[in-house]
Amino acid sequence: MSAKTKAKKDGTAITVAIIAAAATLVAAIIGLASPLVESLAGEKATSTPETATKSAPILLQDDFSINRGLLVWDTERSFGGVMDGVYRMGVKGPHIVTWRVYHGLEMSDFALRVNILMPQSTKLFSCGVVFRKSDGGRYLFGVNNDRSYEFIKVTASGEEITMIDWVSHYAIKDHGTNQLEVTAIGDMIELSINGEKLDTLLDETHSTGEVGFYTSTYGGGEEIIVEFDDLLVEKR
């Protein structure tokens, strides 16, 4: 064998050895990296992206196509019931308050939204939502046709404690549709109208109870009819 041929074979053997060593090193690196990749992939799979939030469970939804438990009544002072795809409440004179709730459906932590169609009137009136109503009392959040809002706590004895006393806000319409929203989580209560946040209160008096609606009048003898529609209550 010539020296030239021997050198060529030795070079080939060295190249094969280098390739084999490199392949072994790559396999070792992949083997070490695999647990890390699996760990990262598993963590990514189990975490929920902030933008991909699940829909909250619905506690109550009512489009008033049928009566789902609200009282139908007609007295000398007021009337109400599901009519023409809305829940209609009418007050027939001055200084009258009427309210109704979904009996037996108690809720603690929730976000409530409802549309309220208010008539155009020269007489002062208010309307809104009742929530956490129980034997221990209830809360009322409402709007006035002078473009203001109120928040009242009613105790077990029937005493009304005004926590927000008719505060004016540009987002409130004096007639037409106002959308009221209440978020109640523990002792925190957040109030919004037409997408505008109004106030956040802390009060632990009433922690659970039923939800519903109210309408009230002040001076004057004009009949007032308010319509409630598209109620949605989601768990929080």
CA distance 63 to 115: 10
Residues 42 and 63 in one domain: no
Residues 120 and 152 in one domain: yes
Q: Which has more pLDDT, 33 or 232?
A: 232
- pLDDT for position 98: 95
Residues 133 and 226 in one domain: yes
Distances from the Cα of 231 to the Cα of 116, 134, 189, 212, angstroms? 10, 20, 18, 10
- pLDDT for position 40: 28
Q: Among the three residues 14, 32, 54, which one is the final residue of a domain in this structure?
A: 54
Domain range enclosing 95? 58-235
Residues 79 and 22 in one domain: no
- pLDDT for position 120: 95
Per-residue confidence at 69, pLDDT binned at 50, 70, 90?
Answer: confident
The mean of the pLDDT values for the chain is 83
Residues 28 and 122 in one domain: no
Residues 155 and 139 in one domain: yes
Above 80 in pLDDT, residue 44? no
- Residue 73's CATH number: 2.60.120.560
Express as a percent the part of the chain with pLDDT over 70: 77
Residues 109 and 203 in one domain: yes
Distances from the Cα of 137 to the Cα of 77, 115, 209, angstroms? 23, 24, 9
CA distance 130 to 140: 5
Q: What is the DSSP letter of 209?
A: B
Q: What is the DSSP letter of 223?
A: -
- pLDDT for position 55: 84
Residues 27 and 80 in one domain: no
Task: Give phi and psi for 54, each to the nearest 5.
Answer: -80, 155
Question: How many domains are there within the chain?
Answer: 2
CA distance 77 to 217: 11
Report pLDDT digits (tens) over 156-209.
999 999 999 999 999 999 999 999 999 999 999 999 999 999 999 999 999 999
Residues 45 and 143 in one domain: no
Whether 169 and 191 have beta carbons less than 8 Å apart is answered as no
Contacts of 88 (CB under 8 A, 6+ apart): 80, 81, 82, 225, 226, 227, 228
CA distance 51 to 57: 18
Q: Which has more pLDDT, 219 or 182?
A: 182
- pLDDT for position 19: 43
- pLDDT for position 219: 80
Residues 133 and 28 in one domain: no
Report pLDDT digits (tens) over 77-99.
999 999 999 999 999 999 999 99
Residue 113 DSSP SS3: strand
Per-residue confidence at 71, pLDDT binned at 50, 70, 90?
Answer: confident
